Structure 1
Amino acid sequence: MKAVVLEKSGSRYTVLGKNGTFRQVHRRLNAEVGEEIEIRTGIMGFSGLRVWAGVAALFLLVLTSLLGWNLYQAPTAVALLSVDINPSLQFTIDAHGRLLKFQTQNEDAKRMLKQIDLTGKPIDVVLEEIVTQAYNQKFLNSEQHWIVVGYSPMTDKTSDQMPKELNENQIITWVTGTIEKQGFTPQVVVFPLTSQESEVAQKGDLTIGEYALWQVAQKAGVVTQPEKLKDTSERVRLLEDPQVQAQIQLKKMGIESGLPWTPGTAKQDPGSKDQSNKEGTGKSMPDGLPSSPVEVPNNPAIEKGEGQPKDKNTGKDERKDPNQAYTKGLGKAKNSAHKKNKVKERKQ
């Protein structure tokens, strides 16, 4: 396109095109003011295109960075779940119900986990795989048919983020579904706990399921030491005790009726003749039912209060505050072990 030079300024010309537009172009020829020159209109278009291309590239870079940050952020643990058969395992779960990492496991669990990789898998697949492996390796059999499951939020803040599927009915379905097809039906008991209770359990080196069972035994008046819950035979003894089974049923009825319950307190069945425990206290538990389909025999001794320790002071602290009794029990166990070590050193 032809244009007339209107002004010379350094390395640029100000020109007037034939279409009446003013432009600034690079000074390529030694033209004088008033002289007509030939200019290429494509130069200006290409320069503008380069600017817009740079802006678009910068925008895409920022957008990709933001999306990448969200996609590759490490998942947050919102819940804790334990499975005690022997093997005993405890692991964290994210808000999508996937296993993040194992927290604790005993030697049997470590050997089992060498054969399978469960990290990142959905919780239903994880539970089915654990129970199937336990059955195939004869940990579950006619003599040992109990499975104890415990679950809790990691903290109070993550309670609302827990997967909705994490409840007793769904857990029992996951646990029993696969092996029932093989003709074996396990007995499953599920305990929901608070985040505070799970912290206490971990301080005592117990899974949250073991700790919850110990609390129920204390409430039922069945004496046992917390550390003994690591032994499968002790868990079976407690789970098959009529008083413990009755306490589990009371807990189940309390939660079904919408009454607050913690393993340290219980709500009496509204239809029961004994109204002594009609009103209880405690923090609300996570949604879900804490027990499995356990047949509880009629036991008049339980209704009359028989079978409780005769010594008024025996078990008094445990019934008032199971958490405090649990802490005291751990302290006594540690002191006893310390004294035994001192005696051995003196003999040597």
Structure 2
Amino acid sequence: MVKGLLIRSKGPLGVVMTQDGRFVRVLLTGGNRALGQEVMGRELHFPSMTRGLAVASLLLVIMIGVWAKIMSVPAAAAYVALDINPSVELTVDQVGQVIQCRGLDDDGQKLLKQVVLDKVEIYRALDLLVQGAVQQHYLNEINNVVLATVTPIKEYSVVDEEKLKDSVSQAVTGLPVSVKIITEVATPQERQQATDKGISVGRYLIYQGSTRQGAPLTIEDVKNKGLGQLEKEKGWQIEQVLPHARYNIRAKHQPGKGDNNETSDKQKLLNKVPPGQVKKEQPHLPPGKQTNPAMESGKQVIEEKQQMIKDKDEKADEITSERRVDRHQSQLNQNKNENKDTPDDHLKKDSPGLDKKPTPNHGHDKK
């Protein structure tokens, strides 16, 4: 309470001058409100104009900063959900880069702690995530199914499903188990319904489609179990319950063989048999003495090349020999022709006196 001389009043409000010379705005409490009289009142605190302007300016700066930050965040163009046993969701901008990621279960959150995905291309991000899942042994004989679900927001999709499959396929290269890679497309409405149930959109589509197989799943089953485990327990394939599934199977890696059980070019060259020849069968050898097929094939190719060179040399020698015989025969014929008598020479030999001129007869023959 403030006590002082009332110098101004307006209704219940007034201004008093205190004994120390201050002028104070008060709310009058007594009945006596005559000017110049000593009155009692409750002091009123009004912020000054300067202080009010400072507060307003500060609020304006904060609002501008928040607005600028909101406007600077790239807009989401698509969502990609990855499900193995961990489940994660990546937000992708219009240029195909990850701008946000979140784990949809405990394993998904642990997996995201192993990799940094900010501003990473979506295909590279999926590659890193699957590699992390491999290192954490989430992919194994039981859980060997990978599902990538794309939810486009724009009319056109910034994410290519085939490239997603290729990224996952590259990441599981070398695993001793076969891995099924599935891609699916969802709508924003389906994603929202999945978010309301606390699961990924891919698992939500599996939950919806499981009733068509006569083995409906519960939310707890589809949320907590790996996709490969669900297949084995229910006896159906994941791609059968999804509406637009595309899938392929990455064959398990076998030591000593190329990826997907494909023979390398070098091995094909070693196994190649020249035309007209029959490939020799590998002889049965006792254990411990069996030879390396690739080494034997290499030796076979070398022996065949050596045989071809030998045959070529023999053919050349044969041709050279024939040419020599032809030249010899030609020389003999030439000599024979030179020594051969003409018909006149035979006549001369048969009539020795034919070359002599006749002696004129002067009648000496008559007797």
Task: Sort the TM-score into its range (normalised by shorter chain).
Answer: 0.3 to 0.5
Q: What is the TM-score with the length of structure 1 in the denominator? A: 0.47
- Between 1 and 2, higher relative CO (CA 8 Å, sep ≥ 6) is seen in 1
Q: What is the TM-score with the length of structure 2 in the denominator? A: 0.45
